[in-house]
Amino acid sequence: MITAAPRALQPSPPPALQPSRWQQQWRDAVRDPRVLLELLGLDAQAAAISDAAAAQFPLRVPRAFVARMRHGDLHDPLLRQVLPLDAEMQPVPGFGLDAVGDAAAKTAAGVIQKYRGRALLIATGSCAVHCRYCFRRHFPYAEETAARDGWREAVAAIAAAPRHRRSAALRRRPALAGHAQAGRTYRRTGSDPAPQTPAHPQPPADRIARARGRTTAGLAAQPAVASGVRAACQPRQ
């Protein structure tokens, strides 16, 4: 009789069948500044945390990112990257909320064009890590996102612009898929795979991108959006 192999000798399931660590980290991200400081052994009162800044731009940081911070160091650069502080709420002469001039470059809902032949498609407003220095932290994602029912206007705007050769999508939310599905999505739409998180390094998709004469990079919306943008980027007959 052939007996079952000991558990230690049994082969592990294929990687595709194992739960994705980065997806779990997305769900388990730290969202409370005081919890973050407690994890690092720091005093919340000494950190000058700003509840107003946290309400305006909430804390979100994966625990794998927290694990890279120095314990007990209030000035750790990775901690300062995500910790909402009172200094953020102090007005500074000469600076504004629209740091890179997105409002003036808007051509349609979710479409920003600053350069000839290129457009930025805002596909979602979520992000794996909320960096305090983000220059789009005040961007009105709720009103200016080309998603769901709003993508048709965005595609029409790209099609109407002269000589669009590249449309890059700002997609801040990690796609809820593993590398295999991300690769299929890239091959189908020309999009880049999911953004990087500490447990989810980005696959080498540049090999596919180099094979395309015209690229539609970074589309994370529905396949209909991707096909529409690809068609809009084609040369006119």
Using DSSP's 3-state secondary structure scheme, residue 10 falls into coil
Each residue of 67-86: b (16+ CB within 10 Å) or e?
eebeeeeeebebbebbbbbe
Dihedral sign computed on CA atoms, order 194, 195, 201, 202? positive
How much is the pLDDT for 143? 82
Q: Tokens 């200016």 appear where?
A: 144
Helix axes 179-189, 223-232, angle to 10 degrees: 30
Q: Are 173 and 200 in contact (CB under 8 A)?
A: no
Domain boundaries, the chain: 22-88, 103-232
What tens-digit pLDDT sequence spans the chain (237 residues)?
Answer: 444 445 444 444 444 434 457 778 888 999 999 999 999 999 988 898 999 999 999 999 999 999 999 999 999 999 999 999 999 999 889 888 898 999 999 888 888 888 888 888 888 788 889 999 999 999 988 888 877 667 788 888 888 876 555 555 554 444 434 444 444 434 433 444 444 455 554 444 444 344 333 333 444 334 444 555 555 555 555
DSSP code at position 24: H
pTM for the predicted model, two decimal places:
0.63
